[in-house]
Structure 1
């Protein structure tokens, strides 16, 4: 966490400097992101190599590191796919905005909304990651009831935190919009458009907090493959279809696209919650050793 704070502080300065003080312009932004990510990598590598608590973490290359690649990939690839499907759905909205009349304004407005949604999601992402870890640990210890209780507690905290984000957005949407806009002329128009999108953003942020916890629980239970099918169906078959109809056919433009993706998000959250309620939670393959009273793998 400390290294992440250091990296983001440097990132702000590096980005501003490369964008505004050099001839790179907007090209300085991705370059700054690359520099900041490498800074984070180097700090973490230095910490692992120099801290005694990590003495046995890295002992050099060996063939043993390849023993569990397939086991890891069976979880990692579906996890990456379910995350990518969701992220791609929001990014596609910005691309679709470029196909609409007044494409510069529409795509800019959608980019503002997508970034706002992403920042709100990242604030609750810590709870989501904690839910995934806690659920998997409790299931591994053979405590499915405690795993379910952890999900309920995390869900309540995530929704509560998302409400705090929404209140800040409702009362400060003009200030927030000003961070994205440079000229006064465009600011007046986009500020009004962003203000009209705020109620839709509030709904999507709430729903996103619910689906985020549900996705974390799915990862903790090893249901990534189910979540991939859910994300594909809800975001691309349902969400994108509604977004295309409302945005292009009914000429709601940015609002139509956002309503569509919110519908997909709602279907995804409902489906994942239904799966967690109806599906039997996996139990550990650990049993008690009758002689020692300790869990052994069977």
Structure 2
């Protein structure tokens, strides 16, 4: 009998090789068609879900931006701060579920999916309290990092009303309402739908026992995600220290938002890769490892400057796409701690120093900041690729 951890069977059914002449076609020799179908089924919903969710705060920034350059700079700075201190961190915390639930499903421990979900909710709720308090002191924090006082004041107003989820006067109120509207039906669906009868057996105090287990994966996962997200958002903060901070902040923020939207495609594929890898590890299978700117601003200066950044933006999007899928594989395998070290080294010891040097010392300003980011992304993608290629997959097991 084959070892349940080091399986000698292919990732999918053996009957793939018994389908007549089609099994010898160049397509099936090149790729696993059935696995590709599974990846598409998993990734498409995630692509659209992430895209629509990201568009909620982005749309608010777009509407606020047409009020003036100050409003654009303030809205983008506030949006970056919410990402740095809140959204990215919470997304990172939820990364523990990709490992725990993915491997649990593969091992047919369906009931534990609901338990791990409740544990994750407990962990997330505790951290949201600290995040909300931090958001109420945003203006003081911006003062400490020497941001423009006018921009800081407007951004702080945005943040204070965003924290409790009650909305902000004007466009941002739609963000809060939309997020609540998205959350309530989704939670109701998970609790009440018969589709989850095997994985959701009701609220249980047993979930408290797994909080520590969740934290051992969620904190490294949060660090892994935040170190990457922060590298992008720090560029917005650095732009606020340059001459004419309203223009510089707006320009860099538009690039960051453009990059983020393109990343939604990759993030969907990343989620699919994470799900498939964790499912197969949980089942004991390891052989299958093998006109835009006008929406933000009407300023001719910003439009011209953004046009000069398109080449750099294309390069960063390409690298970000590669690392996104590789990061999904890492999360599925439970490698969050290793990737945290990789992200720390590549972004903050390579990317950010180069960005600061090119942006300020060489006076390349926004271009210099983005060059540093590209260097960080290249180093990160290369490291993750080498880690995936040379990992001893036969030594992996389904334990977390």
Shorter-chain TM-score category?
A: 0.7 to 0.9
Correspondence for 2:347 among 235, 239, 249: 235
Kindly report the root-mean-square deviation, in angstroms, between the aligned alpha carbons of the 2 structures: 3.0
For residue 385 of structure 2, what is the aligned residue in structure 1?
Answer: 273
Q: For residues 24-77 of structure 1, give each alpha carbon's deviation from its aligned partner in whole angstroms, at most 9, with x where no partner exists.
A: x86434432221111111111222343222345555433212232222221111
Mapped partners of 1:122, 1:193: distance in 2: 25
Correspondence for 2:397 among 259, 284, 288: 284
Q: Alignment length, in residue pairs?
A: 251
**Structure-2-length-normalised TM-score:** 0.57
For residue 362 of structure 2, what is the aligned residue in structure 1?
Answer: 250
**Structure-1-length-normalised TM-score:** 0.76
| Structure 1 SS opposite 2:352 | helix
Cα distance change on mapping 1:75 and 1:212 into 2, 3 Å: same
Q: For residues 190-215 of structure 1, give each alpha carbon's deviation from its aligned partner in whole angstroms, at most 9, with x where no partner exists.
A: 11111110000100000001111111
Cα distance change on mapping 1:120 and 1:9 into 2, 3 Å: closer
For residue 218 of structure 2, what is the aligned residue in structure 1?
Answer: 76
Runs of 5+ consecutive residues of structure 2 not aligned to the other structure: 1-44, 66-70, 76-167
For residue 122 of structure 1, what is the aligned residue in structure 2?
Answer: 264
Alpha-carbon contact 1:4-1:40 (below 8 Å) kept = no
Cα drift, residue 140 of structure 1: 2.5
Query: Which structure carries more relative contact order (alpha carbon 8 Å, separation 6+)?
Result: 2
1:133 aligns with 2:275: yes
| Structure 1 SS opposite 2:363 | coil
Correspondence for 2:372 among 238, 250, 260: 260
Cα drift, residue 230 of structure 1: 0.7
Alpha-carbon contact 1:142-1:283 (below 8 Å) kept = no
Cα distance change on mapping 1:42 and 1:285 into 2, 3 Å: closer
For residue 96 of structure 1, what is the aligned residue in structure 2?
Answer: 238
Mapped partners of 1:59, 1:107: distance in 2: 48
Alpha-carbon contact 2:281-2:398 (below 8 Å) kept = no
Cα drift, residue 217 of structure 1: 1.1
Mapped partners of 2:242, 2:313: distance in 1: 20
